[in-house]
Structure 1
Amino acid sequence: MAAKSATSTIVFITGVVVTANCWDNWKAYFEAAGYTCYAPPHPRKDAPGAVLRGQHPYSPIAQNGLPEVLKAYSDFIAQLPAKPIVIGHSYGGLIAQLLLQQDAVAAGVAIESAPPLGVVVASWALFRAVLPMLGLFSSLRTTFLPTFA
């Protein structure tokens, strides 16, 4: 593992399809290396995955917009004693980039980040996978629950 940065805190930011528990193994790894780690949930998404799936379609989660989610993470980070490193996946990668842009964090890692506005990623596989989440042929007032297949 590379040398630690000046900060010893990492905040993990999940994408929208999974819960913050997806970071449990990552947290354990970095905590064993001496880091303090957090994986706060998205707004209205602080229950275990099985509970959230049972509540589908849970419309308050569907109402989470980028500004609200960004503010939730910004507020969480602001209460920390020092700027952390953030590691985000998918939508969380986009949040990590925005936190870097705001100079709210010491460093950031975006893993398979969702693209920012204006950056178009066009592939049939991606379009087919995310079409239901975009609400083009479904309601924007309910959540999308992908199948395990």
Structure 2
Amino acid sequence: MSDSLSEIPASTLAGIERANASGRTPVVFIHGLWLLPSSWDRWVSLFETAGYAPLSPGWPDDPDTVEEATAHPEVFANKTVGQVADHYATVIARLQHQPAVIGHSFGGLLAQIIAGRGLSAATVAIDAAPFRGVLPLPISALRSSFPVLGNPANRHRAVPLTYEQFRYAFANAVSEEEARQLHETYAVPAPGAPLFQAATANFNPWTEAKADTENPDRGPLLVVSGERDHTVPHAISAAAYKRQQRNTGVTEFAEIAGRGHSLTIDAGWREVADTALAFVNRFVK
């Protein structure tokens, strides 16, 4: 993608301007599939109070609200990992200070791609989708992605999750009542393309779903895993951590006990956010 104003929404440009004017270190939050930037709202408040300049840019063409996303799912279709990574790189290029980058799920993969390009001062990848070289494929991960991967035509579509699918993939570690509330509050359709890219990454040398784990400019990296995550089980996060340990920079791993894929948005979000904040505080100010 070229660096043009038309590709960055006005709300994101305003966030960049505020971050630059503040003189504070920026923190860029990257959401994953089936969520919007609003999923980071509480994290943004926490990091702002901690003295950072947080911003949560959307993926290209992200609607502002869940209602808009539900009404116009077609805007999500055909977004690829490479396109979205380039979009975030364009946003980061406009910041006056190198940011910390925090991502969840496919946002965690994107955060590692950004770090591999040397664009991040410190990175936290939470229940991150796998990149090329991460080999485990647990049954629960396959089941979680089946609503998309089960139909090859979904590569070019936006696919929503039913409540039952969301309950298994995201909200298995919370109560039924909270799971329904999370689905209603946060869940939106998602592009199918990134899931197909991740699923075939180890068979495609030219895949966009890859991260430069050996770049000496990668910076400190924390891999966070939810113990009960169905979508990105421990085996996937541990394998990503092992690959990232090839880097000369600090590479750490944290497992959050009893938590599923919804760990950034459910009632226990603060424990995860505090873990990320403590890591960022050690390396970025």
* TM-score normalised by the chain length of structure 1: 0.87
Between the aligned partners of 2:112 and 2:162, the Cα distance in structure 1 is 29
Between the aligned partners of 1:134 and 1:44, the Cα distance in structure 2 is 23
Query: Are 2:29 and 1:29 equivalent residues in the alignment?
Result: no
C-alpha contact 1:13 1:40 (8 A) present in aligned 2: yes
Give identity over the alignment, percent: 32
Q: Which amino acid aligns with 1:32?
A: T
- Matched residue, 1:9: 26
Q: 2:148 aligns with which of 133, 139, 143?
A: 133
User: What's the offset of the Cα at 1:27?
Assistant: 0.4
C-alpha contact 2:100 2:121 (8 A) present in aligned 1: yes
Q: What aligned pairs does 1:18-57 form with structure 2 within 5 A after superposition?
A: 18-56=35-73
| SS class of match (2:70) | helix
- Matched residue, 2:95: 80
C-alpha contact 2:27 2:52 (8 A) present in aligned 1: yes
Cα pair distance change 1:138/1:121, threshold 3 Å? farther
Please provide the CA RMSD for this pair.
1.6
Between the aligned partners of 1:63 and 1:135, the Cα distance in structure 2 is 17
Between the aligned partners of 2:150 and 2:36, the Cα distance in structure 1 is 21
C-alpha contact 2:28 2:101 (8 A) present in aligned 1: yes
Query: Are 2:136 and 1:121 equivalent residues in the alignment?
Result: yes
Cα pair distance change 1:135/1:64, threshold 3 Å? farther
C-alpha contact 2:27 2:100 (8 A) present in aligned 1: yes
Q: Which runs of 5+ in 2 are unaligned?
A: 1-23, 165-285
Cα pair distance change 1:92/1:71, threshold 3 Å? same
Between the aligned partners of 1:26 and 1:95, the Cα distance in structure 2 is 18
Q: Compare the two structures and name the one with the higher helix fraction.
A: 2
1:81-126 alpha-carbon deviations (Å, 9 max, x no partner)? 0110000001011111111111011110000000102323322221
C-alpha contact 1:10 1:85 (8 A) present in aligned 2: yes
Query: Are 2:113 and 1:98 equivalent residues in the alignment?
Result: yes
User: What's the offset of the Cα at 1:139?
Assistant: 2.8
Q: Which runs of 5+ in 1 are unaligned?
A: 1-6
Q: Which amino acid aligns with 1:66?
A: V
The structure having more radius of gyration, on CA atoms, is 2
Between the aligned partners of 2:109 and 2:118, the Cα distance in structure 1 is 14
Total equivalences in the alignment: 141
Q: Which amino acid aligns with 2:120?
A: V
